[in-house]
Amino acid sequence: MSLEQFDKEIYDLTQKELQRQSDHLEMIASENFTLPEVMEAMGCVLTNKYAEGYPAKRYYGGCEFVDEIENLAIKRCKELFACNFANVQPNSGSQANQGVYMALLNPGDKILGMDLSHGGHLTHGAKVSSSGKIYESFFYGVELDGRINYDRVLDIAKIVRPKMIVCGASAYARVIDFAKFREIADEVGALLFADIAHIAGLVAGKEHPSPFPHAHVVSSTTHKTLRGPRGGIIMTNDEELAKKINSAIFPGIQGGPLMHVIAAKAVGFKFNLSSEWKIYANQVVKNAKKLAEVLMNRGFKLVSDGTDNHLVLMSFLDREFSGKDADLALGNAGITANKNTVPGETRSAFVTSGLRLGTPALTARGFKEKELELVGNKIADVLSDIGNTNLQARIKEELKELASKFIIYEKAIF
């Protein structure tokens, strides 16, 4: 029986979601479109298998083939990031980070991460996250120019004396200087943990410097710029750390690994290792730079006045309207993005004065600079006349027409 016959409700909603993904322009910087082949691997019999433990060290029989699959995923991951050890079992980026902390810290230890409101992630010590409840967290941020000031980070690190410094961000448009972070970590005797969840695809495509050999440990998601299945990974060059990380993921925080997702991660890494990948990663950055240029030419202020990577962060501190208003208006015009706090924020975290826009998903659809120039101008049109709902409706139709020329999936279920 097909899913359509067995469960019409879920089937129909899946079709609606395909339609939504096709008609709208996806500009949430953390989202992307994975390969149909990756989805095929995720929808297979591997979901049936219990494989607690690691290849050749399982707690269940019948693991000979899943062992080969996990070993392939590990091998490709190590090759991709040029490192010696990889754990491909984390179910998400957050669980990868939880595993890193559990492996290398004791409850109550001090961590120094990037402030959530300055572009950091919840798992970098925010009080609502286990990272901020189990560990004593301190923060560095960006300056008013939107950039990390490494001298300032050092000053804070000298006062805090953290056991671990966390670098990496969710809303930072500039290159992260891992070598500088390592100098700071060495100066205060801290471990350096680089979370490259957002930029991993650019690192893989050599569009952003690698965290290796600077970071002691590196985590990432596999579904953002990497375009793989939803999941996490942890990497290191240090064998002792690798052993601790493995024990922290299983049995520390997870049970049976999602073998279908691990297979899909391996398929994703194969794509990341292909010559095609470099072209994609390069185009993501070119598209973001084009978008930044258009928005600035149209008089909008960007945090850090531009971008080095896959995202731009617009600032509305100088405008009457908020990030929330912009998010809603663009949503009406068929563009999906997200409101975001900006340095020097004057509005609440729910309202905000910023908007984060990313190019990974549009680039996966085949958009190039020409299309980003058009999209950037449509965004500027909407925001320059933010109360004009007729204009929003008209642009929505125009963008739907544009999107229909860049079909990404023929079907919703693989």
Annotated catalytic residue, options 180, 230, 278, 400: 230
* Residue 335 neighbours by CB under 8 Å, 6+ apart: 24, 25, 27, 375, 378, 379, 382, 399
195 catalytic per annotation? yes
221 catalytic per annotation? yes
Q: How many residues belong to the site for ligand PLP (CB under 6 A)? A: 15
23 catalytic per annotation? no
Annotated catalytic residue, options 23, 31, 37, 52: 52
Q: Which stretch binds ligand PLP (CB under 6 A): 98-106, 167-175, 254-262, 305-313?
A: 167-175
Q: Which stretch binds ligand PLP (CB under 6 A): 35-43, 190-198, 336-344, 363-371?
A: 190-198
Q: What is the DSSP string of 184-210?
A: HHHHHT-EEEEE-TTTHHHHHTTSS--
Single-letter residue type at 172 = Y
Annotated catalytic residue, options 34, 221, 236, 359: 221
In this complex, which beta carbon is closest to ligand PLP, that of residue 24 or of residue 124? Answer: 124
Annotated catalytic residue, options 26, 70, 115, 195: 195
**Integer Cα distance of 66 and 261 in angstroms:** 11
Here the tokens at position 121 are 């992630």
Here the tokens at position 88 are 């491909």
Of residues 76, 174, 182, 198, which one binds ligand PLP by CB under 6 A? 198
Least distance (Å) from ligand PLP to the CB of residue 394? Answer: 34
- Binding residues among 102-131 for ligand PLP as defined by CB under 6 A: 121, 123
In this complex, which beta carbon is closest to ligand PLP, that of residue 198 or of residue 216? Answer: 198
In this complex, which beta carbon is closest to ligand PLP, that of residue 225 or of residue 353? Answer: 225
In this complex, which beta carbon is closest to ligand PLP, that of residue 98 or of residue 353? Answer: 98
Q: Residue 30: which H helix or E strand, with range?
A: none
Least distance (Å) from ligand PLP to the CB of residue 400? Answer: 28
CA distances to 49, 106, 353 from 217, rounded to whole Å, are: 29, 16, 34
**358 touches ligand PLP by CB under 6 A:** no
Question: How deeply is 88 buried, as exposed, middle or buried, from its count of CB atoms within 10 A (0-12, 13-18, 19+)?
Answer: buried
Least distance (Å) from ligand PLP to the CB of residue 118? Answer: 12
**30 touches ligand PLP by CB under 6 A:** yes
52 catalytic per annotation? yes
50 catalytic per annotation? yes
Helices (H), 116-227: 130-134, 150-160, 178-188, 200-204
CA distances to 246, 296, 324, 357 from 320, rounded to whole Å, are: 50, 18, 12, 20
Backbone angles phi, psi at 13, to 5 degrees: -65, -35
**Integer Cα distance of 82 and 99 in angstroms:** 21
In this complex, which beta carbon is closest to ligand PLP, that of residue 92 or of residue 336? Answer: 92
Here the tokens at position 408 are 């990404």
Of residues 14, 92, 254, 282, which one binds ligand PLP by CB under 6 A? 92
Least distance (Å) from ligand PLP to the CB of residue 164? Answer: 15
60 catalytic per annotation? no
Secondary structure, 3-state, 326-379: HHHHHHHCCEECEEECCCCCCCCCCCCCEEEEECHHHHHHCCCHHHHHHHHHHH
Of residues 93, 205, 257, 334, which one binds ligand PLP by CB under 6 A? 93
**222 touches ligand PLP by CB under 6 A:** no
Task: Read off the DSSP letter of residue 216.
Answer: S
Catalytic annotation, residues: 50, 52, 195, 221, 224, 230
Contact set with ligand PLP (CB under 6 A): 30, 92-94, 97, 121, 123, 168-170, 195, 197-198, 221, 232
